[in-house]
Structure 1
Amino acid sequence: MSINIDSKLNDQECLWEVALKGELDVSTADKLKEYLHGLADQDMIDIKMDFKDLEYIDSTGLGVMIGVLKKLKVVNKEIYIINPRNNVRKIFTITGLDKIFKVEG
């Protein structure tokens, strides 16, 4: 499986906009982990992640998301998740992570 990651810095809203396409699982989680930690190392600001084209996420992917969120929380920043598909939203709801992450749309 594969994942494509696209990001840009939104200066007006002072956040990173990150779009994921594909599947976030054990085979792609390290790529996302390195990518997101790299963004946070550049600028510790909120991250808005668009999950519109994310087809699947597993526990390894959730772990990456939690790790990055912990890093951001140290400086009172958040990860916002927008446009999750129903199956991805369901995983966040079942695990209770919809109460930890800001899930919208």
Structure 2
Amino acid sequence: MEIQVRYDDQAREIKVGLDGDLDLNSVNDFKMRMDESIEEYKSGVSIDCSALRYIDSTGLGVLVSILKKVKEYGGTMKILQLKPYLFKIFDVTGLTKVFEIEVA
């Protein structure tokens, strides 16, 4: 899993790019980097999932925990360019009601 994290001053949000699989093997690094960024910038998050290939339940759980942390600072979290087959996972688990999602 490749993770790019940067802060966009103009949008005042953390921009994240995920490439690969967000699963048991990669969630710890992702969560640590996101927690650090949210603590530093105290802003919303935008996650580009155009290169995300797979997500499992641990990945979904980490996204929910990141959302909770973002909301503590009054921010929002957007999941962008989610592939339709991955959107189905969010839909089946009811997370389409929790996240602001843009399907690719």
TM interval, shorter chain, is: over 0.9
Identity in percent: 33
TM-score (norm 1): 0.93
Tell me if 1:103 matches 2:101.
yes
C-alpha separation in 2, matches of 1:74 and 1:6: 23
Matching residue within 67, 72, 79 for 1:81: 79
Task: Please identify runs of 4+ aligned residues in structure 1 that moved more than 2 A.
Answer: none
Report the AA paired with residue 53 of structure 1.
A
TM-score (norm 2): 0.94
In structure 1, the residue matched to 2:13 is 15
Unaligned runs of 5+ in 1: none
Report the AA paired with residue 68 of structure 1.
I
Shift of 1:75: 2.1
Report the AA paired with residue 64 of structure 2.
I
Report the AA paired with residue 100 of structure 1.
V
Q: RMSD of the TM alignment (CA)?
A: 0.9
Unaligned runs of 5+ in 2: none
In structure 2, the residue matched to 1:4 is 2
| Cα displacement string for residues 16-64 of structure 1 (whole angstroms, at most 9, x for unaligned residues) | 1100000001111111110110111111101000000000000000111
In structure 1, the residue matched to 2:91 is 93
C-alpha separation in 1, matches of 2:75 and 2:48: 17
